[in-house]
């Protein structure tokens, strides 16, 4: 067992040295990437889309709220989009609103209400964001999908996800997927530099489906790889290093029971010799 343990440890040490050089190579490669300014310009120009609450596309099961002082039948009405994308409003009945922005929904309701009111004013806002997400992965405490509201920025997302002490804060990536092949865009943001300089030009306004990847530092990356290497031999190492529990003569008990109702149900302890 000792020989097997030493062989495993020798192999792990050799792999550790190789992983260390690989981590250094990765760090140097990242340092030679395109300039942050050029990367930021290309990232934003590729997707010049206005994103705000007024341009949020409503989908099931989002919740909308309608305000119209001139139309008491629907003023203050809150509705959750059904799976078929419709809401039910007094006076109007079923209205299909899925795939529309809040401004487009307001215009549609104004058109429908014009049969009953003259120039009704309608304002629609999203009361519950439930249908769209962005994603955070990597060295954070709260990884996973996050509800997208149209006002989410990189700093807001990271403040909620809380990067751990293993996070490589100068190499945070934002990946913007695309349905078209070859149009997926990625930008690398230096969070430490943003904090030190106060320059928020890289505090990207997120879009639906964006993926934030918080990588580990080179040293943390090597540590993760070592844990992967040692995982199969973990039980063997635990068995080799765990001491055996001591046994004492006082742990032995007699099988005979003394007479009497009070003592007859309790075993008597055999004391070690010398007492």
Domain-by-domain residue ranges, the chain? 35-49+132-218, 58-128
Counting residues of the chain whose pLDDT is more than 90, the rounded percentage is 52
Q: With 90 as the cut, is the pLDDT of residue 67 above it?
A: yes
Mean pLDDT of the chain: 79
pLDDT tier, 28 (very low <50, low <70, confident <90, very high otherwise): very low
Q: Yes or no: is domain 35-49+132-218 CATH 3.10.560.10? A: yes
pLDDT, tens only, 191-243: 999 989 988 888 888 999 999 999 999 999 999 988 888 888 777 767 766 66
Residues 261 and 240: beta-carbon distance below 8 Å: no
Residues 16 and 226: beta-carbon distance below 8 Å: yes
pTM of the shown model:
0.67
Q: Which residue has the higher pLDDT, 142 or 251?
A: 142
Q: Yes or no: is domain 58-128 CATH 3.40.50.970? A: no
């Amino acid at each position: 067992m000792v020989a097997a343990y030493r062989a495993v440890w020798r192999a792990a040490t050799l792999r550790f040295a190789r992983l260390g050089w690989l981590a250094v190579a990765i760090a140097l490669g990242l340092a030679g990437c395109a300039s942050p300014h050029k990367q930021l310009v290309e990232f934003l120009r590729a997707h010049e889309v206005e994103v705000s609450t007024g341009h949020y596309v409503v989908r099931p099961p989002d919740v909308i709220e309608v305000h119209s002082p001139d139309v008491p039948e629907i003023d203050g009405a809150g509705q959750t989009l059904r799976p078929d994308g419709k809401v039910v409003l007094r006076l109007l009945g079923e209205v299909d609103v899925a795939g529309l922005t809040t401004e487009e929904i307001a215009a549609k309701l104004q058109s429908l209400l014009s049969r009953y009111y003259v120039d009704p004013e309608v304002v629609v806002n999203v009361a519950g964001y439930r249908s769209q997400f962005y994603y955070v992965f990597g060295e954070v405490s709260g990884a996973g999908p996050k509800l997208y509201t149209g006002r989410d920025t990189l700093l807001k997302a990271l403040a909620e996800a809380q990067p751990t002490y293993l996070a490589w804060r100068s190499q945070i990536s934002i990946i913007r997927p695309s349905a078209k092949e070859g149009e997926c865009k990625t930008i690398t943001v230096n969070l430490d530099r943003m904090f030190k300089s106060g320059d928020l030009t890289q505090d990207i306004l997120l879009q639906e489906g964006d993926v934030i990847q918080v990588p580990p530092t080179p040293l943390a990356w090597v540590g993760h790889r070592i844990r992967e290497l040692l995982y199969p031999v973990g039980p063997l190492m635990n068995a080799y290093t765990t001491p055996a529990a001591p046994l004492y003569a006082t742990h032995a008990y007699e099988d005979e029971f003394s007479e009497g109702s009070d003592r007859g149900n309790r075993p008597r302890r055999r004391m070690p010799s010398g007492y």
